[in-house]
Chain A
Amino acid sequence: MSGGFEAIRPPGRLQGLRTWWTMLKISLEERLVYRGDFVLGTLMRFLPIVTQVFLWTAVFSATNRGDIAGYSRNDIVAYYLLTMLTRAFSSMPGLATSIARSVRDGSVKKFLIQPVDYVSFLLAARVAHKLVYYAVAVVPFGAVFLLCRGYFPPPPPDATTIAAFLLSLALSFLLGFFMEATLGMLGFWFMEVSSIVFGYMLVQYLLSGHMFPIDLLAGVPTGLAGVSLADVVHWLPFEYTAYFSAAVWLGKVQGTQLAWSLGIEAAWVVVMAVACRVAWRRGTRRYSAFGG
């Protein structure tokens, strides 16, 4: 009897690392099965950018402005390309719906009795997914960026900016993960979250800067004195999943503002990680599973 209970005792640090590594390896092998689908999917994701390039070229040809909200035509194209890169880190396709599904079909209960932390398992699986994605996507991404290098403003960013850019990408991955995982945990309270997820995706697409640079909203009033719509969007976490990294590379955020913004991004990661944990704890407390 006692042996059975010892088996579910929380693992030691070394054993925990080994479990994490095993989860990562399993997920890597799963993902590599569909590598052909990955390459095709990655290339196709650049197609909407093609229309954006032509649209903004047409807009700039019709206006006498050299720039719009501080962006030249080349800056805008570079911005869209960079948001593609940021979204490759922060987007978590299927994460929220898969969590909600596991709650609905009961498969989540194995994580309640096994010495494996569900959130860590999901994180490991997502890291594996991303590693495979980057390994495969580096070719189409490299080709597109090489082809479009003329759109990026000279000179290339300095080492500090590149380091800040890479840090912002890593944080955007964590932020995107915890935001979507928290959303998925709503499955403990609602049977179906697909509509909520779709609503979130809409808001995210608009407010993250994926649709257009947030700076374009700087001239849109909110009704509050001295507060533009861009200011309101800057108070929310969404911009760190697309806009921020692109803005860092393009030199739109510099100096103390850059350090301050990275700090805010890290704080949002902590807030969303705590929210995810709280949702998991409260959700599992009210969760009940019946049968095999």
Chain B
Amino acid sequence: MNRYLAILLTFARACLVRDMTFRANFLLECVTSLGWMSMNLAFYLLVFTYTAEIGKGTGWSKEPFFAFVATGLIINSIVQAFFMPSAEELTEMVRTGGLDAVLVQPLDAQFLVSMHRIDFSSFANGAVGVGLLAWAVSRMDHAPPPVAWALYPLLIVCGVAILYGLVIMLAAATILMGRNQSLYDFWFYLTNFSRYPAEIYSGPWGGPLRMICTFVIPILLVVNVPARVIAQPFTGESWGGVAAAVIAAAASLVVSRIVFQRALARYRSASS
């Protein structure tokens, strides 16, 4: 474990040196990333000029909703920083045979494939997310109890783990198919469902969709559970969500590991 931590730190150092070599590009990436986030925040502010809450009686008024958005920013920035850059490179590695070099290393292939590249500019959104969370929580009618603060980091980790499992399964699909650009687009479209409180998915179409996105692909648990713990009154029912998030995270890691190993077993080198 210590060995993997040391290697991860080495990767991080190398990526940071690379980012700092091209400082202007790094700053530009931070600015564009923050620009996209600011646009979304402006959109939500605009929506709240017309309504007091998202969904009647849901409790997602302005400040709790921005705590929700902040939670999403924090989780997505971690996934974007640690896992997505490496996963995006995998398509090219499979196509060119570069994956062979990974497989002959005396290290776990999944670790190397998913964590060798770290994008530090993605942390910019996470930093804004932390600031936004502090702002939103300080303005909410009720202060989160200590148990909510204690659970929040754990549930953030669970959210990251669920998304990591999804990334790994898409990586496995890349190995099997050789090319899956559409599937990566699918990842972005799928995570789009986690951007809003689960309560908005109601009615004859929304109900089944909510069930699928909670129990089949647990994408709705990623942001909803930690955000609910911190931004909504903590009740006995909250423990159900916590348990669901922990189980979904564990299942996501185990299932994705199995799928990835099976995909590797079927990998045929493209190199000569």
| A contact set with B: CB distance below 8 Å | 37, 40-41, 44-45, 47-48, 50-51, 54-55, 57-59, 61-63, 65, 68-69, 195, 198-199, 202, 205-206, 211-212, 216-217, 219-220
Contacts and interface: CB of A to CB of B under 8 A. Distances in A.
Interface string B44-61: 001101111111101000
A195 to B, nearest CB: 5
Contacts of A216: 46, 50
A202 B36 contact: yes
A217 B42 CA distance: 11
A45 to B, nearest CB: 8
A47 B192 contact: yes
Contact of B46 (A40, A44, A205, A212): A212
Interface residues of B, number: 37
Contacts of A57: 200, 203
Interface stretch (B10-18, B70-78, B159-167, B181-189): B181-189
A68 B196 contact: no
A59 B195 contact: no
B46 A217 contact: yes
B51 A62 contact: yes
Interface in B204-261: 206, 209
Interface in B50-92: 50-56, 58
A216 B42 CA distance: 12
Chain B interface mostly helix, strand, loop or mixed? helix
Interface string B192-204: 1101100111110
A54 B56 contact: no
Contacts of B201: 54
Nearest to B32: A198
21 contacts: A37-B182, A41-B182, A41-B185, A44-B185, A44-B186, A45-B189, A47-B190, A51-B192, A54-B201, A57-B200, A57-B203, A58-B56, A59-B51, A62-B56, A63-B51, A69-B50, A195-B25, A198-B32, A202-B39, A206-B42, A220-B46
B198 to A, nearest CB: 10
A209 B80 CA distance: 27
B28 interface: yes
A55 B39 contact: no
Nearest to B38: A202
A24 B195 CA distance: 41
A199 B33 CA distance: 10
Nearest to A198: B32
Interface string B106-126: 000000000000000000000
Given A59-B47, A205-B39, A216-B46, A195 B32 contact: yes
A217 to B, nearest CB: 7
Contacts of A219: 49
A62 B203 CA distance: 15
Contacts of A40: 182
Given A47-B192, A198-B32, A55 B185 contact: no
A211 B43 contact: yes
